[in-house]
Amino acid sequence: MTRRSAFERRLRREFDGARPPRADAAERRAWHVVRAAHAARPPVRAAHRAARLAAAVAAAVLAAALALTPAGAKMGDWIDDVVNRAPEANRASLSSLPAPGRLLVVADSGAWLVHDDGGRRRLGGFSDVTWSPGGLFVAAARGHELAALDPLGHERWTRPASGPVSVPRWSPDGYRVAYRSGTELRVATANNSDDWPLARGTARTPPAWKPLAAPAEQVLAFAAGGRVRILQADTGDELGRTPVEPTPREIWWAEDGRRLVTVGSRAVRIHGSRGRLLRAVELPAGSKAAGSAVAPGGRRLAVIATRGSASSLLVLRLDRAARPRSLFSARGEFAGVTWSIDGSLVVVGLPQADQWLYVRPRGAGAPDSVGRIRHSFEGGVAPRRGSFPRPAGWCYREPADLGTSGQRPCSSGSAP
């Protein structure tokens, strides 16, 4: 009976989200018919107003086209000279994902799992979540508790902590979970059999595991005391540290662990595997990083750069020295960013338009978008004016089997 009810619920979701074949083409044809009919009407006294409006629309379209070309990006100095309006939502609600896999989302109502067919499941009242390698489990923070659960939302275990739990991160070998309890960085075993402190007085920056598969000794990077320290997780032995630098917002490992990347408010710094600074990439003048995410494979980094009332989504190459490239700019703030697991797009939130934008780094034209994001993750209640639903990591369509060796990592989203 339970399986039948679940099947009926999925059918209901699919029927509610169903659209007729080639619906977008039909909508465009309808628009052309309406526009032609409107053009055939005799002029009225307010025709000069319509002409001014048409000229303004044409100018806006031209500006958007410039902003989405390399020349336009250069003219706009990435962010300020050309700023696009928020795009009209291609879809009114979240009926499916534009790339294969499963997406974790954190909203005021808790943590959610979204499947590529658009099916959504609330996992619980968690403030942050992260995938295990291969997407078999999820580690989650809730008040003074660390929890491990499966993608169906069934809690496997919980561990109390002395301070508020935040930024859980699962190790690449699948056997450890790093998390902050207050300002203390701790590590728990994935079966909840052990737990130990690694460092005190750490920054709010999420820790970052070096991408090393079992049975290699697992290595963790974290921010403390004005540096990023690199420690062996089981013994606490220090393997390296960065020079003194502003506390980063995020830390990422790139190029299979050969590079350590720190994202500060004004610059992205790229270090060797033991912390030696190799180069720094300054963000556009006057802008500030508001989130970042590394692409699968570790060769590209997406960064949200804000300045004044405008935001821009930039992409940096991590495997070579290159100037950041602007993918899209708009008025307002962007909220949350993550890559699809196949690396084909970046999803970023646009709270003032209640949209997610799907930006394709190697594509052309305006990004796709979906609206009513707050409503999609409020659990059936009226949307609140709290934090905007944040994409928190993309994983494969199906979880890996237990005991599978060489589990592939899932992508992570920007810090809360």
User: Stretch 14-31: mean pLDDT, rounded?
Assistant: 47
Q: Minimal CA–CA distance to 185: which of 175, 195, 193, 194?
A: 195
In whole angstroms, how large is the CA radius of gyration of the chain? 23
Nearest 5°: phi and psi at 64?
A: -65, -40
pLDDT band at 366 (very low <50, low <70, confident <90, very high): confident
Q: Which two tokens stand for residue 286?
A: 């006057």
Burial of 403 per CB tally in 10 Å (0-12, 13-18, 19+): exposed
User: What ranges do the domains of the chain cover?
Assistant: 102-395
- pLDDT of amino acid 378: 84
User: Among positive and negative, which fits the CA dihedral 32, 38, 40, 45?
Assistant: negative
Own/partner pairs for 378-382, CB < 8 Å, 24+ apart?
Answer: 378/107, 378/108, 378/109, 379/109, 379/110, 379/122, 381/109
Over residues 59-91, the pLDDT tens digits come to 444 344 434 443 333 434 444 444 565 566 666
What gap in Å lies between CA 306 and CA 83, rounded to an integer? 12
CA distances from 390 to 46, 335, 354 (A): 45, 7, 12
Q: Helix H segments across 18-84?
A: 23-39, 47-67, 70-75
CA–CA separation, 119 and 406 (whole Å): 28
Query: What is the dihedral sign for C-alpha 112, 160, 408, 337?
Result: positive
pLDDT tens, position by position, 200-259:
999 999 999 999 877 889 999 999 999 999 999 999 999 999 999 999 999 999 999 999
Contact 120/153 with Cβ under 8 angstroms?
A: no
Phi-psi region of 275 (alpha: psi -120 to 50; beta: other; left: phi over 0): left
Do residues 366 and 336 lie in contact, with contact meaning Cβ atoms separated by under 8 Å? no
pTM of the model: 0.78
Say yes or no to pLDDT of 327 above 90. yes
Does 39 have pLDDT greater than 50?
Answer: no
| Contact between 101 and 115 (Cβ < 8 Å) | no
Question: Are 388 and 349 in contact, with CB atoms under 8 Å apart?
Answer: yes
Q: How far apart are CA 99 and CA 407, in angstroms?
A: 20
Neighbours of 107 (CB within 10 A): 22
Confidence at residue 383, expressed as pLDDT on a 0 to 100 scale: 60
- E strands in 153-249: 155-160, 165-170, 176-181, 184-189, 195-199, 208-209, 219-224, 227-232, 238-241
Structurally, at CATH architecture level, domain 102-395 sits in: 7 Propeller (2.130)
Number of H helices, E strands in the chain: 5, 28
Amino acid at 78: W
Q: How many CA atoms lie within 13 A of 96 on its CB side?
A: 12
Could you give phi then psi for residue 351, rounded to 5 degrees?
A: -60, -40
pLDDT of the residue at 21: 43
Mean pLDDT computed over every residue of the chain: 82
Dihedral of alpha carbons 182, 183, 187, 190, sign: positive
**Burial (Cβ within 10 Å: 0-12, 13-18, ≥19) of residue 36:** exposed
CB 137 within 8 A of CB 150: yes
Query: Has residue 261 got a pLDDT over 90?
Result: yes
Strand partners, 111: 106, 124
Cα 400 to chain center, whole Å? 22
